[in-house]
Structure 1
Amino acid sequence: MVTLVLGGSGSGKSAIAESMLEEIKDVEVKYYLATMQVYDEDAQRKVNRHRELRRGKGFRTIEQPRDILQALDQMDPSRLGESAVLLECMSNLAANEMFGKDVRPADEVVRNIVQGIRILRNRVRHLIIVSNNVFEDGVRYDPATTAYMDALGKINCVLASESDEVTEVVAGIPVILKKERGKK
């Protein structure tokens, strides 16, 4: 089962996604794929805050800011099909992939991330993906940022169409946008 959790910055989407992961009972292992790249003190504070919020929840954290499929190497292969994964967050992953050592073309980033997510979802029992809504401020950005936003939008659209459930978090309130019948 794949669940996409969308929301704006500070909307509470991470907390909702973590609650969803905690509620899953039919798995042996719960992984938390953290994608934030630490570039400065502010980013380190955010990572530390998220680590503290996860403490004691039984998640196995894997720090994987890019090349998401490499996280599979850090998971127990004998229990992979009996695992749940929370990917936090697609927005960071897309930015890290696009603006690494060199700026990569948006279409390449979209293709690689979508392919990686498809492989990951076929290997685990549950996959929860957190992503940002980045199109709601009406501000015009520079071409590189606009290309990133377009790439993230395309990724979100593919993920939403291929997910069993899509939830948007608004001011801490989860609003179910899509739920496939017969899915739990």
Structure 2
Amino acid sequence: MLILITGGAASGKSEYAEKIICARARSRLYLATMQPFGSAARARIARHRALREGKGFETLERPLDLPGVALSRQYDGILLEDLGNLLANELFSPDGAKRNSVKSILSGIRKLKENCKMLVVVSNEIFSDGEAYPPETMEYIRMLAELHARITQEAGAVFESVCGILLPIKGGFEV
């Protein structure tokens, strides 16, 4: 099963994703995409590590090339944290997929689905401010929206976390 959880910054989306995986998966992989650029990123990574401490997650750091992930075994649940970081890495990193980022990420997600019973993808809700941004940022927003739409088509459930409240958008179940 593929599940997409979106939400704004500090909305509780990661906590819900962990709850879903912990309730339904004995073997758990946390696939982290954030690169530790700067003290704020390092602090956020440390916070997420502390939050999942003792929850039975193996962790794999993978900021680029999701299709190239070679897992040594099957997992009951994989948590991909997060789609927005992964897309930014692919789009703006010198080694990233650039214009092929959406295709690459979707290919990687499909490959991950083959290696688990449940894949939970966490992403960012960044589409509501109505602002106009420089062309590179607008392309990033467009690509993230495309990823959300394509993943939603394949997902069994989609949720949005708003102020700590998980709202079912598609499918759904008790968390």
TMscore range, shorter length: over 0.9
SS in 2 for 1:15: helix
| Native 8 Å contact 2:102 2:143 kept in 1 | yes
Is 1:117 the counterpart of 2:109? The answer is yes
1:76 to partner: Cα distance? 2.9
Superposition map of 1:1-184 within 5 A: 1-25=1-25, 27=26, 29-71=27-69, 73=70, 75-77=71-73, 80=74, 82-101=75-94, 105-106=98-99, 108-179=100-171
- Residue identity matched to 2:4: L
Gaps of 5+ in 2: none
| Native 8 Å contact 2:67 2:107 kept in 1 | no
Tell me how far apart the structure 2 counterparts of residues 24 and 42 of structure 1 sit (CA, whole Å). 32
Tell me how far apart the structure 1 counterparts of residues 15 and 97 of structure 2 sit (CA, whole Å). 31
Tell me how far apart the structure 2 counterparts of residues 68 and 111 of structure 1 sit (CA, whole Å). 11
- Residue identity matched to 2:168: I
* 1:57–1:156 CA distance, 2 compared to 1 (3 A): same
Tell me how far apart the structure 1 counterparts of residues 172 and 36 of structure 2 sit (CA, whole Å). 36
After superposition, what is the alpha-carbon deviation per residue over 1:87-131, rounded to whole angstroms, capped at 9, x for unaligned? Answer: 00000000000001167544x111111111112112211100001
Q: TM-score, normalised by structure 1?
A: 0.88
Tell me how far apart the structure 2 counterparts of residues 128 and 146 of structure 1 sit (CA, whole Å). 26
Tell me how far apart the structure 1 counterparts of residues 10 and 128 of structure 2 sit (CA, whole Å). 14
The count of corresponding residues between Structure 1 and Structure 2 is: 174
* 1:103–1:116 CA distance, 2 compared to 1 (3 A): closer
Q: TM-score, normalised by structure 2?
A: 0.93
| Native 8 Å contact 2:12 2:164 kept in 1 | yes
Q: Percent identity?
A: 37
- Residue identity matched to 1:70: G
